[in-house]
Amino acid sequence: VQLVESGGGLVQAGGSLRLSCAASGSIFSINVMGWYRRAPGPQREMVAIIGSGGNTNYAESMKGRFTISRDNAKNTVYLQMNNLKPEDTGVYYCYTLAGLAGQKLNNYWGQGTLVTVSS
């Protein structure tokens, strides 16, 4: 499974960005899709995830500002980020829990896309 992200960049505080991530490969099923972030430091934290049925979960600091959605027909997940703050700066990684034909579900990660929010 390959994950290709797009949409990162530089934006001023209060601005918006939309991240996209398309999954490709011999995918049999996709369970969870989502976004994680690595801010300055070693830890990668959950930003938002969405299940195959559309149920969502957000990090507390993103609630009300970020919206995750997915297009199951396109195996694509989106993250609409509004009212961005400097502390949202980081590398955003696309994530999926997916399975290839005849194989169990596995975790897959994108290469990351940099989001920089200037004050």
Give residue-wise pLDDT tens across range 16-66.
Answer: 999 999 999 888 899 999 999 998 778 899 999 999 999 999 999 999 999
Percent of the chain with pLDDT over 90: 87
Residues with Cβ < 8 Å from 95, sequence gap 6 or more?
A: 3, 32, 33, 34, 35, 36, 49, 107, 108, 109, 110
pLDDT of residue 41: 76
Query: Which has the higher per-residue pLDDT, 99 or 41?
Result: 99
pLDDT confidence bin for 102, thresholds 50/70/90: confident
pLDDT confidence bin for 116, thresholds 50/70/90: very high
Over range 59-80, report the average pLDDT.
96
pLDDT of residue 83: 98
pLDDT of residue 101: 82
pLDDT confidence bin for 12, thresholds 50/70/90: very high
